[in-house]
Amino acid sequence: MPELPEVEIAARNLRRWLAGQKIVAARIPATRILRGAAAPALEKRLSGRKVTAVERRGKWLRLGVDRDWLYSHLGMTGKWVRRGRDEPAHRHERARLDVARASVRYLDPRLFGRLVLRARDEELADWRALGADPLVDGLDADALGATLKRTSRSIKEVLLDQTVIAGVGNIQATEALWRARLHPARRASSLSAAEVRRLVKGIERSIADTLADEEGPEITYVEEPGAPNPFRVYARAGEPCPRCGRRIERIVQAGRSTTLCPKCQPRAGRNARSRP
DNA sequence: AACGGAACCTGAAAGC
DNA sequence: TGCTTTCAGGTTCCGT
């Protein structure tokens, strides 16, 4: 369930658990998250090494392990958790890094995540291709506006493009568009400068709110089974818009669903006059 | 080049 | 209760 806020929480946790510590043992079974890399070689290259840094960019994490980077993408269901050294493997455990007094495990039932080891001086292409990260770099409305002018895609699609803005996924895109009062099907190039500024604020606020919700001593993924839905419109089709009360709708673009308020997020731009 | 759709997987929830 | 269907926040590949 990870988008930028969840991955940021994961980064903070990993920093607390691992930074400065020596990996005394690594256990990484061969699964598709390794994309064909040899598991035993990976274990060997990590064991006995020290974790010097934990970074996040977009939805990617990377651990500095001596002269290497261990890149981690959580896919749809990936999760780093801390367990006792003697705790048995979880059913969906795909990696474990043991340090002096704890054992950090990577769980991923659907195997959509990735784990890649690279020498520090050869940065992973996917990482390098990432666009501006809202927390690491901050967003520049003018620069974003210029990028949006150059595409024919819808604004929703562009928001999911990690090379434009890194870390925004379906939830954050949905929430940001609602906050900015923009219809997801609008052509990105049709947004005015003022609308782009609203969008930037929408993204920043949505991420900040989600982050605040998820902050806590234990890892809590918002929107896990049983938990209340903390979002304004995401997964709330049929409920009233929290701003105007109109019934929230759901549309599908390129196979991804977006919920929106048809009144707050008109298909035409704000200045366009609709018929009386 | 750009787009929609399917695929990759498992699990939870809803539907019957 | 239990079986079936639908849906899921990630990317990636394939055909048009």
Catalytic: A40? no
Can you give the pLDDT at residue A217?
56
pLDDT digits (tens, 9 = 90+) for A14-48: 999 999 999 999 999 999 999 989 999 999 999 99
SS (H, E, C) A143-172: HHHHHHHCCCCEHHHHHHCCCCECCCCHHH
Positions of chain B reached by protein Cβ under 7 A: 2-13
Question: Given pLDDT bands bounded at 50, 70 and 90, which one contains residue A216?
Answer: low
* Six token digits for residue A80: 């780093």
Query: How distant is C1' of B14 from CA of A51, in Å?
Result: 45
Instruction: For helices A193-214 and A4-18, give the axis angle rounded to 10 degrees.
Output: 40
Nearest nucleotide, CA A112 to C1': C10
Closest protein CA to C1' of nucleotide B9, residue: A110
Q: Determine which one of A205, A256, A262, A266 is catalytic.
A: A256
Q: pTM to 2 decimals?
A: 0.94
Would you call A256 a catalytic residue per the annotation?
A: yes
DSSP A122: S
Pick from A85-99, A137-151, A226-240: least confident: A226-240
